[in-house]
Amino acid sequence: MGGSASKRIEIPDSIPEGPLRDWLTWLQDLRQRANLPSLSMIANASRTKDTEGEDEKLSTSTVRRLLTGELSERRAFRLAWTLAEMDTRRVTGKPSDDWNAFDRDMRVLHAAALAAVNRPGEEAPHAAPQSPLPAGRKGDVDAGCPNGHRAPEAMSASHEGHIPTKDKPTAEAGDAAEKTTAARRITNLRSAGHCIGRSEELLWLRRALTDDRNGAATTTVIVTGLGGVGKSTLASEYARLHRDAYPVVWWVNAESPAEIETSLTQLTSRLVPGRFNAEERSARVDWAVQWLESHSDWLLIYDNVNDPRHLFPYTEALDRGHHLATSRRTTGWADNTLTLPLDVLRPDDATKLLNNLVCPGTTPSPGQEADVRALTADLGNLPLALRQAGAYLAQNRGITIQAYRRRLESKLDKKALATRAERTIARIWDVTLDALQDIEPLAVEVLRTAAWLAPDDIPHALLTSTGADPHDTAEAIGTLAAYSMLTDTGTHVSVHRLVQTVLRTSHATPSGTQPRPCPPGRLRAEQAVLHQLTPPPDQDYLPAALLDALSPHLVALAATTPPGHSNGALGKAYHVAACLLSLQGHDARTVPLLEASVAQCEQNLGHTHPDTLTLRNNLASAYQAAGDLTRAIPLFETTLAQCEEILGDTHPDTLGSRNNLACAYQEVGDLTKAIPLLEATLAQREQVLGETHPDTLTSRNNLACAYQEVGDLTKAIPLLEATLAQREQVLGDTHPDTLGSRNNLACAYWGAGDLTRAVPLLETTLLQQEELHGDAHPLTLGSRNNLACAYQEAGDLGKAIPLLETTLAQCEQVFGDTHPDTLTSRDSLACAYQEVGDLTKAIPLLEATLAQREQVLGETHPDTLTSRNNVACAYQEVGDLTKAIPLLEATLTQRAQVLGETHPDTLTSRYNLACAHHKAGDLNTAIPLLETTLAQCKQVLGDTHPDTLESCTRLADAYLAAQCPKKALTLLLSP
């Protein structure tokens, strides 16, 4: 590891003078006296035996957190003792001279720091801010450098929100997760409703999850169907029936990535209660994933998956148990999953269910049976509708089924909802709500409030108005549960999503008029969330765990904002939450919050107010982070035009917008638009901000990467060298931007064929990324992929392949199966297999990657063209020239069109096509292609570049094969 990785870590400026800063300064001094050991050295030195004799140690990320403000007593004391033991100076006054005194000083300092953090009026080190943040512009994109050669590709890291990493989050997490067993059967299943008429489906599920197919059992099954059809009930019944087959059955609310994480944190808390603090959310998610990785025969039930991609990090990486999911989505699932479409109940089963609800334990008369059958037909045999109607009739014994049907009929023409299921539920609910309004108005108010919040895990406190008696709310919730309007655990409630949709839309007035400005329940829901966002009286900040719990409800409010509705305080809360999520790297999750913030800002301040432009820029960046460039680029373009008009051409915000638009163009491969914008931005930033301003350095880095992407290394390398030197001077040797520059320069050296300079830089960068970000951070994965590919290019496949295999496994877990970085990693590994001659592994990987890139990135994206080239080369290597040559011809044509005639990738395609024709014996086609390739390689890459030399050798071979030895000799002897 380079010495640069062992520099002093600065105490955050946000920590004021006082006991906490004194504690951190004392720790920093201990490290200084131990000769500034690196974080990984400290982590390794902290290894001890736990109470069971097993090894445990701090992780590097934990060491960094402890040095910058975390106060967890057990880990903080272990860090202090470790640093003290590493002080081996031959001087007096070391901690080892008097361990008792050292221990006493340590505990006094730590207690004072802890008391200061918890004292009213002082901000905790990692507290979430409570005052609304100013409209902060999303930071400039700092581009990464892809490399342009045949097999290896450099990865630019991108983020899709927090995904569990494999870096050990705490001192105990690593081996402890593997060795922790479920002492008894663990489950969080709630009591299920009646499951009637699903025996065939339940049998199919069991067979799908347990039968071997081609030697491997399916581990993931998706139950699909319309809302209210009984998907969750079926999944719950399957878990109940086969409870004894699974040591752990865990219900996961899966409407968003954040809710999946929350369910996993709860699993950790159940398996190892008290192991983690409430604020250690990421650590608890990571621990749960590590436990699932190392244990077998568990069942995870993901309820209501909105986007199949949200499951990929778990279903692709966790294969030792079963995944069962419910979703309205019927497409977009991974190829290795099975789907079970679920329909409404058969008429006989629907009649039996309603009979059980209305007349439990009795046999209905023929007349009653006929009435029930008629009602089930009215309700379309939809299970949710049957339960709602049955609960109403069970609570109101004096109302006959015929009378209830007449009431439903009176509601028939009053609804204009989207689906038949929605209209059916709306009619039922009108009848039920009319009855509840008479007997318990508070229940209706509570229900309408819940309709605007996240559907799952709504705390009772969020449904209790300020100053109201919680017991009254509890009674109202009990009444709603009795009518099957919601489910209640005693502390939290859940409402069916279809029911919420009906309640939110049923406020609409007759056609031709506008909706009410504030629909029923909306204002109460907003006030409840805002009240919960207020810090407790004895604190100045909101605990992170509480903010995590409220985030789904903020997102739900943002996503369901009625037309024309505005709430200034809530808009600020949206913005605060979006800023905090962005700081945590969850940019993609901020989309609904930012969309609501932008709409409110446009309404209150106008479309061209500077704050509106800032929020619109941030929303475009969130779209880009979510991979939605079709929405990001037009929004960036609009924002830039308005910034130029309102703020002026050289305002810092205008320059930021121009940079971000250029990077978005670059991301979709449109370099003819990207490079002029980047050049203009750099020139203006140098003039306005100065040569060494961080934003200027970002522009210089991005322009250099764009030059590299079009193959202009004579411009790219000097710019990258200058940027790295300036970032080391201005930002420090281990700043994330400095590491990015070091990686990009290494890739440029590599692209120029200079591996003697590239490999050491990549090795240093990887070590520093691991220390700074952890083992499975996206930037670390990018560095590891690049280093492995450089080893491969240097011929060291013994180092390259294990690194590539590790990187691919982590990419699949962190990003998902079809993320661009995962596809890059899969392509790189396949090419390494090809290089060692293992084509049985290489070709299927290459074919899969090409198909996925065509689907995800498009037919002519540079990465898709790389995959097409690599597949063709593999076909050529096994002698299948009938497949190889057409692919190579298509790739050459597309690369020449997209990248230009002399781009290094285009030269590679031309060379590969020439070699295929040579192998097929078509020298009349091969020789002109090789002659053109050699001339262009000399022009673009230089006479001594490895690709130039290889082209020269191949052309000489072709001349010899064509019986032209003089040409071959002249070529080989020419300077």
**Residue 881 falls inside a structural domain:** yes
Single out the residue of 252, 18, 15, 194 nearest to residue 115, CA to CA. Answer: 18
- Supply the pLDDT for residue 869: 92
Is the pLDDT score of 88 beyond 60? yes
- Supply the pLDDT for residue 742: 92
- Supply the pLDDT for residue 133: 25
C-alpha distances in Å from residue 819, one per residue of 335, 816, 852, 940:
15, 6, 9, 32
Query: Which of 118, 145, 163 marks a domain boundary?
Result: 118
* Same domain? 215 vs 236: yes
The string of pLDDT tens digits covering residues 834-858 is 888 888 898 999 998 898 888 777 7
Is the pLDDT score of 127 beyond 70? no
- Supply the pLDDT for residue 357: 83
Mean pLDDT of 290-316: 87
* Same domain? 383 vs 306: no
Looking up tokens 């506008």 gives: 514
- Supply the pLDDT for residue 586: 65
d(Cα 470, Cα 453) in Å, to the nearest integer? Answer: 19
**Residue 163 falls inside a structural domain:** no
- Greater pLDDT, 538 or 238: 238
- Supply the pLDDT for residue 176: 65
Q: How is residue 413 written in tokens?
A: 């023409």
Is the pLDDT score of 154 beyond 60? no
- Supply the pLDDT for residue 623: 83
Helices (H), 455-567: 470-482, 497-505, 522-532, 544-559
Single out the residue of 746, 779, 789 nearest to residue 764, CA to CA. Answer: 746
* Same domain? 190 vs 307: yes
- Supply the pLDDT for residue 745: 93
d(Cα 913, Cα 888) in Å, to the nearest integer? Answer: 6
Mean pLDDT of 774-787: 84
Q: Sign of dihedral through CA atoms 796, 798, 804, 807?
A: negative
Written in H, E and C, the secondary structure of 801-828 is HHHHHHHHHHHHHHCCCCCHHHHHHHHH
Element (H, E) at 81: helix 73-85
Single out the residue of 696, 715, 695 nearest to residue 705, CA to CA. Answer: 715
Query: What is the separation of C-alpha 194 from the centre of its chain, rounded to a whole number of angstroms?
Result: 36
Single out the residue of 747, 774, 742 nearest to residue 758, CA to CA. Answer: 747
Query: Which of 314, 341, 368 marks a domain boundary?
Result: 341
- Supply the pLDDT for residue 3: 35
Q: Decide if 166 contacts 765 (C-beta within 8 A).
A: no
* Same domain? 318 vs 378: no
Is the pLDDT score of 29 beyond 90? no
CB neighbours of residue 667 within 10 Å: 20
What is the percent of the chain where pLDDT is above 70?
82
d(Cα 386, Cα 233) in Å, to the nearest integer? Answer: 13
CATH (domain of 239): 3.40.50.300
* Same domain? 211 vs 325: yes
- Supply the pLDDT for residue 249: 94
* Same domain? 194 vs 336: yes
- Supply the pLDDT for residue 518: 79
- Supply the pLDDT for residue 680: 94
Q: At what angle do helices 281-294 and 257-271 cross, to 10 degrees?
A: 70
Is the pLDDT score of 193 beyond 80? no
Is the pLDDT score of 536 beyond 50? yes
- Supply the pLDDT for residue 417: 45
d(Cα 504, Cα 521) in Å, to the nearest integer? Answer: 9
**Residue 300 falls inside a structural domain:** yes
**Residue 703 falls inside a structural domain:** no
Range of the domain at 185: 173-341
Is the pLDDT score of 896 beyond 90? no
d(Cα 758, Cα 756) in Å, to the nearest integer? Answer: 6
Mean pLDDT of 2-6: 37
d(Cα 559, Cα 590) in Å, to the nearest integer? Answer: 11
- Supply the pLDDT for residue 192: 63
Is the pLDDT score of 959 beyond 70? yes
Average pLDDT score, the chain: 79
- Supply the pLDDT for residue 215: 44
- Residue 770: is it exposed, middle or buried by C-beta count within 10 angstroms (0-12/13-18/19+)? buried
**Residue 639 falls inside a structural domain:** no
198 φ, ψ (degrees, to nearest 5): -120, 25
* Same domain? 336 vs 413: no
Q: At what angle do helices 713-730 and 694-709 cross, to 10 degrees?
A: 160
8 confidence band (pLDDT: 50, 70, 90): low
Is the pLDDT score of 164 beyond 70? no
Query: What is the separation of C-alpha 136 from the centre of its chain, rounded to a whole number of angstroms?
Result: 22
- Supply the pLDDT for residue 859: 82
Residue 734 contacts by C-beta under 8 Å, 6 or more apart in sequence? Answer: 4, 5, 7, 768, 771, 772
Buried b (16+ CB within 10 A) or exposed e, 25-58: ebbbebbebbeebbbbbbbebbeeeeeeeeebbb
Single out the residue of 887, 892, 881, 812 nearest to residue 845, CA to CA. Answer: 812
* Same domain? 208 vs 275: yes
Mean pLDDT of 659-679: 87
The string of pLDDT tens digits covering residues 459-504 is 998 999 888 888 999 999 988 887 777 888 888 998 877 678 778 8
- Supply the pLDDT for residue 585: 56
342 confidence band (pLDDT: 50, 70, 90): confident
36 confidence band (pLDDT: 50, 70, 90): confident
- Supply the pLDDT for residue 533: 82
Mean pLDDT of 751-777: 87
- Residue 835: is it exposed, middle or buried by C-beta count within 10 angstroms (0-12/13-18/19+)? middle
Helices (H), 878-945: 881-898, 904-919, 923-940
The string of pLDDT tens digits covering residues 546-598 is 777 788 898 889 888 887 787 878 888 888 778 776 765 566 678 888 888 88
The string of pLDDT tens digits covering residues 45-71 is 877 654 445 556 777 667 777 887 776
**Residue 156 falls inside a structural domain:** no
CA atoms within 13 A on the CB side of 38: 16
Interstrand relation of 220-224 and 322-327 (parallel, antiparallel or unpaired): parallel
- Supply the pLDDT for residue 555: 85
Query: Which of 390, 405, 439 marks a domain boundary?
Result: 439
* Same domain? 186 vs 108: no
Q: What DSSP character marks residue 540?
A: S
Mean pLDDT of 283-308: 87
d(Cα 923, Cα 925) in Å, to the nearest integer? Answer: 5
Looking up tokens 């960094």 gives: 64
- Supply the pLDDT for residue 82: 86
- Supply the pLDDT for residue 541: 63
Q: Is-above-0.75 flag for pTM?
A: no
Is the pLDDT score of 159 beyond 50? no
Element (H, E) at 49: strand 48-49
* Same domain? 261 vs 372: no
- Supply the pLDDT for residue 658: 93
| Of the candidate ranges 346-355, 465-474, 626-635, the one whose mean pLDDT is the lowest | 626-635
* Same domain? 873 vs 928: yes
**Residue 648 falls inside a structural domain:** no
d(Cα 37, Cα 63) in Å, to the nearest integer? Answer: 12
The string of pLDDT tens digits covering residues 793-822 is 888 889 999 999 988 888 877 777 777 788
Single out the residue of 89, 80, 103, 105 nearest to residue 34, CA to CA. Answer: 89
Written in H, E and C, the secondary structure of 728-772 is HHHCCCCCHHHHHHHHHHHHHHHHCCCHHHHHHHHHHHHHHHHHH
Q: Decide if 71 contacts 65 (C-beta within 8 A).
A: no
- In the chain the first and final C-alpha atoms are separated, in Å, by 41
Q: Decide if 417 contacts 423 (C-beta within 8 A).
A: yes
Mean pLDDT of 102-118: 68
Report CA Rg, the chain: 32
**Residue 485 falls inside a structural domain:** no
- Residue type at position 675: I
Mean pLDDT of 922-928: 92
Is the pLDDT score of 654 beyond 80? yes
Domain count of the chain?
4
What is the percent of the chain where pLDDT is above 90?
20
* Same domain? 332 vs 262: yes
- Supply the pLDDT for residue 122: 27
Is the pLDDT score of 705 beyond 80? yes
- Supply the pLDDT for residue 169: 32
- Supply the pLDDT for residue 531: 87
- Supply the pLDDT for residue 116: 58
183 confidence band (pLDDT: 50, 70, 90): low
